[in-house]
Structure 1
Amino acid sequence: MSGRWGWLDGLRAVAVLLVVYAHLTRYVFTDLRAVTGEWLHAGPAGVMLFFLVSGYIIPASLEQHGDLRAFWISRALRLYPMYLVAIAAVVLLGGYTTSQPVTAAAGHATMLPFLLDVPLVTPVLWTLSYEMVFYLLVTALFTVRLHRASGPIAVLLAVLAVATAPLAGPRPGLVPLAAVVLMIGLGLVISGRRAASVAGGLLLGGLVVALLAIGQDPAHRWDGLLIVAVMFTGTAIYRADRGQTDWWPAILAITVVAGALLANWIAELHALGAVTPRYVARSVITLLVFGGAFAIGRLCRERRTPRWLSLIGVLSYSIYLIHHVLIQIGHRFLESALPGPVIAGCYLSAVFGLSWLTHRYVETPAQLLGRRARARQDGVSEPTRLKETL
């Protein structure tokens, strides 16, 4: 795939702005939050939109070359540099302490700490654990040539999510085992040998299934499986758009996953004794906001995305990580007696300014390395690659 897809950048911008709004309004414009929060979960709407976009675009990245080694090098160089910068900033500035630094470091190195009972350096990292889960599942399916079954997989996950919710909480002590399994599995899938790749894919798939079943944080015991189902729904839409499958698997996935989300969100409200017309309406509106945003973006994909919105989308990964790092290390400023607009203006200026710098000097160089690695990999002889006709 060449070039940027502007409409996806626009959707990333909408997603990150929703998340920033959700976190910033805990400190300023709290009256506005009190009103909107009764009718919309802005944070969940934003991250679910991120997940839909990831589901749409990530399989395309893998299948363009059919090369697992290039895919993982590209993903590592896309995510880890900024991920490590954010972690280092919080740790060095005193925003994170732990009595088990080795376990915490190993858990974060896997990018699966949220499912391994490891306290997060910064709370927003929880979404990256599910991103990693999705990459591992896509890899596993690719090795056994089931990657085009995105629609049925989304439906299966949605049905399991409703049948098994709430899922079990995280089990302590899994970090060493998970780290070893992850390293072995990835080593096998990028080896270039068919049998080893299949074995590695099955190993990674088994790890993911186990973590999803027994590693859910209390915050996502009701929708942990559904987050992954949302990503596979995005993939099903991509395949239908590209003519790889009929539209009925995507339509079925959209319908079943949306229904499962509402069912589990309302079941969670029931468990909390909070089933009221307003909160049920909030669940419906949250679903409509992120689903509707994606639908509108897709319908307008032939139109030019506004430049400012596209720029925010390009910076969205840095913005997503930096905005909460600044909250952690600068919460005293956010809680100061200065007028709300002044606080918000200074905070947002810092977020966007630092995000531009980190994108320019951290993300972009790492992405260039990834492109070069992929270009070199494209020149590798056919027997050393896991290749298939797409």
Structure 2
Amino acid sequence: MSAAALPAKPARTPTTPSARLAWLDALRGIGALAVVAEHLLPWFLPGLRPYWFNLGIYGILVFFLVSGYIIPTSLERHGDVRAFWISRFFRLYPLYLAVIVVMLALAWWVPVREAVPRDGSSVAAHATMLLDVVSVGGVADTMWTLSYEMVFYLLVTALFLTRGHERSGLLSMVFAAAAVVVGLVSSGAVLAGGWPAYVSCAVFVVALAGVVLGRFRTAAACVLGLMAVVLLLMSSRVPWLGVAVLAVMFAGTAIHRWERGTGRLWPVAVTTALVAISPLWAIESGWWWVQADVWITTIVLAGATFAGGMALRGRRLPRVLVWFGLISYSLYLVHHPLLKYFVQISGDLRRAEVPYQLGMAALAVALILGVSALSYRYVERPMQALGRRVSRRYRGGLQRGGDTGVAGQGAGDHGVLGHEEGQVPDRVRDHVAQVDPLR
């Protein structure tokens, strides 16, 4: 995220879509592996867990930079908010719902964690994916980051329809400054209780239907964007962290605009500095990974990783790393539940002999990769294909109905966006016993 770490602005050279996007998949692969390692090491190889930076937060920052880099520009290229939301629905919800169903079905064996309310507010929060910004725990721990992806989508849609989407550098600085201020004045959700989940679900369903169906589209998008900001500031479990996440995502967009010659890079440097100091005086900042040395090191490593990916764009990258990125949404959603089930069978491995720990860790990783590959093949890919068919069916009618289109961007281009936004790694918290106090 550091502006100084970014490569020089490239000369424009013709590349294929797959070559242009392979580096983004590689970054997702790195982020996904970092998150798996963050959750696996404490229970399988605790002696190898690093504490000079945080693997999970590192992965989160890489993923959110990637989302910020590509999502707003993908919407601009499509020029079609209905197609965008149809794509997002078929991209995110099928696997998300499948994981929820499986975890509830196995709750007799491994109970759903206590952070999940046993009432209708949990259903409402899961329906919108706005879990963390309404202070509701997800059935799977990893689902918290989807809250900020959804907030970002809502904001980007409103900005696009109101022609404010090109001010990403300014927005990144505003959110970064807000993270510092919010950390100084707020220790948690101001709007408490279950009602934010119920109200946001009702507004989400009605207003998003307006956006998709074209009924008062701009007004509905603005309502959703305003709601997203209010929830972010007033009912998030850790408000400064959520606001900082949005700053990082808009910084990713600003980097893309700089790369295309339509923006400056200095807002990214300002955003980086503000995000770096945002938790240092925050009321709720006692976790080990927000200590100045750890937090700043993590930010620098994430920024350097993203810059390295940019420097390698258009070049041949290791296929296995790109493949990890391809399945990273599945990897993100299924790895934490699988680790819980594995530990339930294997028992506590923290005091076992190192060779046994290594063997069990290898077995767990093989299981996670196998299940992730299967869920990508049999859940993600078919539903993405269905989403593209639905988008193609409505695209012609949308353009005739007045939606702005962009020349040269057809329905087939959805393939370029097949796996970018939802891959966000899990919050950093050990899934048994040794708990970091993030939630």
TM-score (norm 2): 0.81
Preserved CA contact (<8 Å) 2:183 2:282 = no
Match of 1:115 in 2: 133
**What is the RMSD of the two structures over their aligned residues, measured on CA atoms?**
2.3
Tell me: CA distance 1:349–1:59, structure 2 relative to 1, closer, same or farther (3 Å): same
Match of 2:220 in 1: 200
Match of 2:43 in 1: 27
Name the structure where helix makes up a greater proportion of residues.
1
SS in 1 for 2:297: helix
In 1, Cα distance between equivalents of 2:384 and 2:399:
25
Match of 1:221 in 2: 239
In 2, Cα distance between equivalents of 1:309 and 1:258:
27
SS in 2 for 1:305: coil
Match of 2:420 in 1: none
In 1, Cα distance between equivalents of 2:289 and 2:28:
31
Task: Show CA shifts across 1:297-343 (max 9, x none).
Answer: 00110211110100001011101111101122232226244711111
In 2, Cα distance between equivalents of 1:124 and 1:270:
21
1:96-175 map, 5 Å: 96=112, 100-166=118-184, 167=186, 169-170=188-189, 171-172=192-193, 173-175=195-197
Structure 1: gaps of 5 or more residues: none
Task: Show CA shifts across 1:118-175 (max 9, x none).
Answer: 2221111110000000000001111111111111111111112112225452321211
Task: Show CA shifts across 1:255-274 (max 9, x none).
Answer: 12211121123224996398
Task: Show CA shifts across 1:99-122 (max 9, x none).
Answer: 634321221011011111222211
Match of 1:178 in 2: 200
TM-fit CA distance, 1:381? 5.3
Match of 2:73 in 1: 60
In 2, Cα distance between equivalents of 1:381 and 1:43:
41
SS in 1 for 2:279: helix
Task: Show CA shifts across 1:208-258 (max 9, x none).
Answer: 1110111121xx333221100111111111122233x13x2xx22311221
In 1, Cα distance between equivalents of 2:398 and 2:343:
54
Q: Supply the AA of the counterpart residue of 1:299.
A: A
How many residues matched?
377
In 2, Cα distance between equivalents of 1:205 and 1:113:
16
Equivalent in 31, 44, 48 of residue 15 of structure 1: 31
**What is the identity percentage for the equivalent residue pairs of Structure 1 and Structure 2?**
38
Tell me: CA distance 1:275–1:301, structure 2 relative to 1, closer, same or farther (3 Å): closer
Tell me: CA distance 1:334–1:387, structure 2 relative to 1, closer, same or farther (3 Å): farther
> 1:187 aligned to 2:209?
yes
Tell me: CA distance 1:360–1:266, structure 2 relative to 1, closer, same or farther (3 Å): same
Preserved CA contact (<8 Å) 1:90 1:329 = no
TM-fit CA distance, 1:90? 1.4
SS in 2 for 1:265: coil
Preserved CA contact (<8 Å) 1:21 1:42 = yes
Tell me: CA distance 1:161–1:267, structure 2 relative to 1, closer, same or farther (3 Å): same
TM-fit CA distance, 1:294? 0.3
Equivalent in 218, 229, 238 of residue 209 of structure 1: 229
SS in 2 for 1:148: coil
